[in-house]
């Protein structure tokens, strides 16, 4: 898989765990759009881990049909990750874009990738609320398919 995203090139080398590992080649100056920079906030380590923690807590509470608790407990944890990533991050967007997590979130910044990202974030909570594990699996597949990031910029 060879793709091109602004001044980025990445090459899938081999399969590891559940995804692909990437080798990154960048030109001297990195040109990121505002939207790409917003998506890269999610690749900040503190933001990523607090999103996971808040998300899993919220999903558990949704499973128990405690929507108010899910919002009041999971939401602030997720927002804390955003605040901490913006306030105290030592990495800038260009450095984050060169990491594996940065590349993943850049894939979600394409139209197709972002549509899959948002769709999965609707399907998964609804499926948890209704205790439908098949629909949950479909939501996870949609999220993973979004990594393909198909757009007019990919070769």
Phi and psi of 121, rounded to 5°? -75, -5
- Report the candidate in 51, 3, 53 with the shortest Cα–Cα distance to residue 23: 3
3-state secondary structure string across 52-79: HHHHHHHHHHHHCCCHHHHHHHHHHHHH
* pLDDT at 148 (0 to 100): 79
Mean pLDDT of 65-87: 95
Q: pTM (2 decimals)? A: 0.74
**What is the residue extent of each domain of the chain?**
33-99, 110-155
Confidence of residue 109 (pLDDT cuts 50, 70, 90): confident
- Report the candidate in 19, 22, 21 with the shortest Cα–Cα distance to residue 9: 22
Sheet holding 8-16, edge to edge: 2-5, 8-16, 19-26
């Amino acid at each position: 898989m060879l793709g091109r995203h602004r001044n980025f090139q990445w090459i899938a080398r081999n399969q590891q765990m559940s995804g692909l590992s990437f080798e990154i080649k960048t030109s001297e100056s990195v040109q990121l759009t505002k939207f790409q920079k917003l998506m890269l906030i999610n690749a900040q380590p503190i933001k990523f881990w607090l999103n996971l923690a808040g998300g899993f807590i919220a999903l558990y509470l949704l499973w128990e049909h405690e929507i108010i608790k899910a919002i009041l407990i999971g939401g602030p944890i997720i927002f804390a990750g955003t605040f901490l990533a913006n306030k105290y991050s030592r990495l800038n967007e260009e450095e984050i874009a060169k990491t594996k997590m940065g590349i993943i979130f850049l894939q979600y910044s394409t139209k197709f990738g972002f549509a899959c990202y948002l769709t999965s974030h609707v399907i998964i909570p609804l499926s948890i609320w209704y205790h439908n594990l098949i629909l949950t699996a479909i939501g996870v597949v949609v999220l993973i398919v979004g990594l393909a990031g198909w757009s007019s910029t990919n070769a």
